[in-house]
Amino acid sequence: MGMASCGMSAAADAAGESAAASEAKQTDNMTQATDTAAAKVEVETTLGTFTVLLYGDTPRHRDNFLKLVREGYYNGTLFHRVINEFMVQAGDPDSRTAKPGQQLGAGGPDYKIDAEIVYPKHFHKRGALAAARQGDQVNPARQSSGSQFYVVTGKKLGEGEIAGMEQYMQQARRQEIFNGKVQEHRAEIMQMQQTADHDGLKALQQRLIAETDSEAAASPARLTPEQRAAYTTEGGTPHLDGQYTVFGEVVSGMDVIDKIEKVPTGAGDRPREDVRIISMKIVNG
């Protein structure tokens, strides 16, 4: 969204949500150093077996996933949402007994997990394991589903696509900076709106846009060398970076994920023939 076209009152509302997400992210960054032990889980499915490594610096997601594995929570559930060259999603307990054509994706335990977005260290490369969640409109703090997860497949990006992605990232950064400035001046904006001071609002908006452009130019948003290498040689879904918690990656059996990705799907991106998780177990080494 362009800066000049963004209404000041709408931006003020958006800034409130952005601040909530930023606060949650900052809290995460302060707690991530407490436990760095990683863990591995083997996932047996009707199309084969793959193994995921759970990162130690996303301990809430790691511990919750391990808890559910020990409980057998995922046993018998489906990969209920599969999109070619994007991702495969599972973890809805309602899928265990789902009838053909039944809409899925809303099930889970009666809790959410606070975001642990360790970006850019963890990003949406091919094979990344990440937590599903509701959208920002109803979930500005970007809390994760208590059980649903997805594995990234994605596709390789060319240099032109990388450049386009960085342009998108820079625009998103400008919007974030602008929203933060609007939040700082929220009381002033509301006062001008109440007194119908249109000239004052216009002048303030122009000043905030100029400040935003200066700050964004001083610290441009770019992909890291690691991201660039991964996205151009292996693939992934970079447009999700920084928005969802990536808490692990596939370390063996990616060919099984590829099989799941390619199955024919119907309404709601649900596979026409069920792809089921038979069991999960924690493994060493």
Residues 35-76: pLDDT tens digits? 779 999 999 999 999 999 999 999 999 999 999 999 999 999
Q: Are residues 86 and 202 in the same domain?
A: no
pLDDT of residue 218: 93
Q: Do 169 and 46 belong together in one domain?
A: no
Length of the chain: 285
- Domain-terminating residue out of 177, 192, 218: 218
Which pLDDT band holds residue 8 (cuts at 50, 70, 90)?
A: low
- What confidence tens digit (pLDDT) does each residue in 188-219 have? 999 999 999 999 999 999 999 999 999 999 98
Q: Are residues 188 and 51 in the same domain?
A: no
Least confident of 123-132, 144-153, 160-169: 160-169
Do 222 and 169 contact (CB within 8 A), yes or no?
Answer: yes
Q: What is the pLDDT of residue 221?
A: 86
* 179 lies in some domain: yes
Q: Do 53 and 183 share a structural domain? A: no
Number of domains observed in the structure of the chain: 2
Residue 226 lies in a domain: no
For residues 152 and 174, membership in a common domain is answered with no
The most confident of the ranges 11-20, 133-142, 144-153 is 144-153
- The Cα 243–Cα 176 span in angstroms is 13
Extract the tokens encoding 103: 């809409």
Q: Are residues 81 and 123 in the same domain?
A: yes
pLDDT (tens digit per residue) in 86-111: 999 999 999 999 999 899 999 999 99
Query: Does residue 74 fall inside a structural domain?
Result: yes
Residues 98/80, Cβ–Cβ less than 8 Å? yes
Q: Are residues 118 and 175 in the same domain?
A: no
CA 3 – CA 11 distance, rounded (Å)? 9
Residues 67 and 167 in one domain: no
What does the pLDDT read at residue 10? 56
Going by C-beta distance under 8 Å and a sequence separation of 6 or more, which residues neighbour residue 135? none
| 88 and 45 both lie in a single domain | yes
SS (H, E, C) the chain: CCCCCCCHHHHHHHHHHHHHHHHHHHHHHHHHHHCCCCEEEEEEECCEEEEEEECCCCHHHHHHHHHHHHHCCCCCCEEEEEECCCEEEECCHHHHHCCCCCCCCCCCCCCEECCCCCCCCCCCECCEEEECCCCCCCCCCCCEECCCEEEECCECCCHHHHHHHHHHHHHHHHHHHHHHHHHHCHHHHHHHHHCCCHHHHHHHHHHHHHHHHHHHHHCCCCCCHHHHHHHHHCCECHHHCCCCCEEEEEEECHHHHHHHHCCCECHHHCECCCCEEEEEEEECC
Do the domain assignments include residue 207? yes
pLDDT tens digits, one per residue of 264-277: 999 999 999 999 99
Is residue 171 situated within a structural domain?
yes
By mean pLDDT, which of 29-33, 155-159, 280-284 is the weakest? 29-33
CATH code at position 270 = 2.40.100.10
Q: Residue 127: CB partners within 8 Å, gap ≥ 6?
A: 151, 152, 234, 249, 250, 254, 257
Residue 9's pLDDT is 55
Contact status, residue 85 vs residue 154, Cβ threshold 8 Å: yes
- pLDDT band per the 50, 70, 90 thresholds, residue 25: very low
Same domain, 166 and 77: no
pLDDT in tens, 150-189: 999 999 999 999 999 899 889 988 998 999 999 999 999 9
Q: Is residue 228 part of a domain?
A: no
The residue range of the domain holding 184 is 8-28+159-218
* Residue 36: predicted pLDDT: 76
The pTM of this model reads 0.80
Q: Is residue 231 part of a domain?
A: no
Under 8 Å between Cβ of 260 and 88: yes
109 and 167 co-located in one domain: no
> Which of 173, 188, 218 is at the close of a domain?
218
Of 30-39, 141-150, 221-230, 257-266, which range is least confident?
Answer: 30-39
Same domain, 187 and 264: no
Measured between alpha carbons, how far is 168 from 131 in angstroms, rounded to an integer?
23
Q: Does a structural domain hold residue 169?
A: yes
- Whole-number Å distance between alpha carbons of 249 and 58: 12
